[in-house]
Amino acid sequence: MKARILAASKIHESALELAKEYAEVDVKTGLSEDELAKIMGDYDAIVVRSKPKVTKAMIDAGTKLKVIGRAGVGLDNVDKEAAAAKGVKVVNAPEASTISVAEHAIALMLSVYRDIPKARDSLKQGRWDRKLFMGCELYGKTLGLIGFGRIGKEVAKRARAFGMEVIVSDPAISSEDAKEYNAKCVEINEVFKTADIISIHVPALPTTKDLVNKERLAMMKPTAIIVNTSRGHAIDEDALYEALNEKKIKGAGLDVYKKEPLEGSPLPGLDNAVCVPHLGANTDEAQIMAGKIVIEKIREILTA
Ligand code: NAD
């Protein structure tokens, strides 16, 4: 008998086609946690995006459940402890959005450097403010990457194509590793002191909490900007607000925040900050890739 997979979020059609090669697939989106718990007993696998939550009640009700697939990076919406307690495997696709996030980091750098959001708003209001928007080039600038894993490395490749110098700080990276990407390993405070653009690509760990803090912001050049497409966890947002508001640094491009959705934060209201609502992985390509990777990982478990 074919295995049964429940797609409880909108998963890309091409990924669902892959799943149909080895399983019966039901797409049931928009159900509440209670409604999902009632039908969980019918399925060998469930696949979700960032919603709905896969709760303990749902996992306990999943008498046949062998695997939970999260078509995306984080596992925040899956009760991993409840899954482990019942021997249910959990799979995700952290590699699916690497290119999308790297391109997004470069987009934020250019948006801040050339004031694109403000210039667009100005023209939309019927003005022709050419003198107001004097930008600078990426060419010849030093990019400091904090975190040189999957995404940091892809950002480095693109930055080199723009003619930037690249310095990196990552405890897991040797000078030899960095050299492969034409980058130089330096100590973290060196990045804050010397980089023109700092781009953060670290995971959320106790050691990366508020890694960008008041002291390090004070080390930055007044002309420097900071871009964060990793996790809000890595930045002390009050200290960043102060540095931006008092023009101690030139600007910031932010995709991620300590608390999401962002509510009542003064950051998006700043003239020198380009803030967007966690769009790093929001591309057709990343969504298709995430769906396909997770469906393949589920296949391996269900057909083992
Ligand atoms: P990765 O695991 O491949 O790389 C992370 C790197 O950070 C590792 O090389 C690690 O050694 C390094 N690191 C850890 N602690 C450090 C520290 N204190 N200082 C410097 N470096 C440190 O991860 P990745 O796939 O490159 O993802 C990076 C970040 O991007 C993660 O936080 C991830 O959640 C986030 N992300 C965001 C989006 C988005 O939509 N904006 C999408 C995907 C991933």
Q: Domain containing 103 — which CATH number?
A: 3.40.50.720
Identify the domain containing residue 8 by its residue range. Answer: 3-94+284-302
**How would residue 1 be classed by pLDDT, with cut points 50, 70 and 90?**
confident
Tokens matching residue 243: 């540095």
Question: Does residue 59 sit in helix, strand or coil?
Answer: helix
Q: How many other CB atoms are there within 10 angstroms of residue 64's CB atom?
A: 12
CB-based contact 212:240 (threshold 8 Å):
yes
Burial class, 8, CB count within 10 angstroms (exposed 0-12 / middle 13-18 / buried 19+)? buried
Confidence of residue 36 (pLDDT cuts 50, 70, 90): very high
- pLDDT surpasses 90 at 292: yes
- For residue 234, give the ligand 1 atom closest to its CA: 32
Residue 104 exposed, middle or buried by CB count within 10 Å (0-12, 13-18, 19+): buried
Compute the distance from residue 201 Cα to the ligand 1 centre, in Å: 4
* 20, 131: one domain: no
Quick check: is 260 catalytic? Answer: yes
Residue nearest to atom 35 of ligand 1 (CA): 230
- Report in angstroms the alpha-carbon separations of 54 from 68, 81, 149, 229, 274: 8, 11, 28, 26, 33
In this structure, the answer to whether residues 175 and 242 fall within a common structural domain is: yes
Dist. CA 106–CA 157, nearest whole Å: 11
In this structure, the answer to whether residues 58 and 124 fall within a common structural domain is no
Same domain, 21 and 141: no
Provide residues with CB under 6 Å of ligand 1.
Answer: 73, 94, 97-98, 101, 146-152, 169-172, 201-205, 207-208, 211, 229-231, 255-256, 278, 280-281
Tell me what the mean pLDDT of segment 22-48 comes to.
97
Confidence of residue 74 (pLDDT cuts 50, 70, 90): confident
221 CA distance to ligand 1 centroid (A)? Answer: 24
Regarding whether 248 and 112 lie in a shared domain, the answer is: yes
Supply the residue whose CA is at minimum distance from atom 38 of ligand 1: 280
44 and 164 co-located in one domain: no
